[in-house]
């Protein structure tokens, strides 16, 4: 019974540690396999692994996981699954959010492109430029003059990527021709 409890505890601690690594700014910012300092709460759990005596190691893990839980409750440590972090990165794509390391990928790079289905199209009064609403909740405004080359329809997949000069380009997936866009919502 004690061995099963210990294994379950170690599995929970390992999952917590892995999750903390996914979200720690140092882990997100690192580009190579070099290990950055993930913080004292996480380091405390790692140090428990070196204890060879079972009872002492379990006591250490109990203490460090309690500290980890307290840090999570106070917001010092944020725990999330990678897919939730990816959703946050996608929802912030195109918005001015500064140089947030939390919105960078595991390679330390910002998101380079986004794909989502067109849910709604409107024409800006007086300019005939499009306002494109996507299923992911973002809204983009066409900044180039209207063109027959770029004519998306609701339900089509739109790919938006970063342009060379810091702007954004949108194109209908599987087609040639793009237009410059900017995120408005």
Q: Is the residue at 107 inside a domain?
A: no
Q: Distance from CA of residue 54 to its chain's centroid?
A: 37
The reply to whether 6 falls in a domain is yes
- pLDDT: is 97 or 120 the higher one? 120
Same domain, 7 and 65: yes
Instruction: Flag whether 105 is in a domain.
Output: no
Give the global pTM: 0.51
How does pLDDT run across 41-60, given as a tens digit for each residue?
888 888 889 999 999 999 99
Host domain of residue 170 = 112-183
Q: 65 and 14 share a domain?
A: yes
pLDDT beyond 50 at 75: yes
- Angstrom distance (rounded) from CA 15 to CA 61: 13
Q: Has residue 90 been placed in a domain?
A: no
Whether residue 61 lies inside any domain: the answer is yes
Report, in angstroms and rounded to the nearest whole number, the Rg of the chain calculated over CA atoms.
Answer: 23
- Give tens-digit pLDDT for 109-131: 777 888 899 999 998 888 888 89
* Residue where a domain stops, chosen among 83, 100, 120: 83
| Cβ neighbours for 95, distance < 8 A, ≥ 6 positions apart | 183
On whether residue 162 sits in a domain, the answer given is yes
For 140-161, write each residue's pLDDT tens digit: 998 888 877 788 889 999 998 8
Q: How far apart are CA 179 and CA 185, in angstroms?
A: 18
DSSP annotation of 125: T
pLDDT of residue 97: 54
More confident residue, 98 or 129: 129
Decide if 168 is inside a domain: yes
- Looking at the structure of the chain, the number of domains it has is 2
Same domain, 174 and 119: yes
Q: What does the CA dihedral 167, 174, 121, 161 come to, rounded to 10 degrees?
A: -20
Q: Is 102 among the domain residues?
A: no
145 CB neighbour count, 10 Å cutoff? 10
Please state, in angstroms and rounded to a whole number, the distance separating the CA atoms of residues 140 and 81. 28
């Amino acid at each position: 019974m004690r061995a099963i409890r210990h294994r379950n505890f170690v599995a929970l601690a390992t999952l917590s540690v892995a999750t903390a690594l996914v979200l720690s700014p140092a882990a997100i910012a690192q580009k190579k396999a070099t290990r950055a300092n993930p913080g004292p709460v996480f380091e405390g759990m790692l140090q428990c692994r070196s204890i060879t005596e079972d009872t002492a190691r379990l006591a250490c893990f109990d203490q460090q996981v309690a500290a980890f839980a307290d840090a999570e409750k106070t917001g010092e440590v944020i725990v999330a699954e990678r897919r939730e972090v990816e959703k946050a990165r996608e929802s912030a794509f195109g918005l001015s959010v500064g140089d947030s390391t939390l919105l960078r990928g595991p390679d330390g790079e910002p998101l380079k492109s986004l794909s989502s289905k067109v849910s709604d199209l409107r024409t800006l009064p007086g300019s005939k430029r499009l306002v494109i609403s996507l299923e992911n909740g973002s809204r983009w405004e066409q900044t180039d003059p209207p063109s027959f080359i770029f004519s998306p329809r609701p339900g089509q997949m739109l790919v938006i990527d970063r342009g060379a000069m810091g702007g954004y380009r949108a194109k209908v997936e599987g087609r040639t021709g793009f237009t410059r866009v900017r995120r408005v919502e």
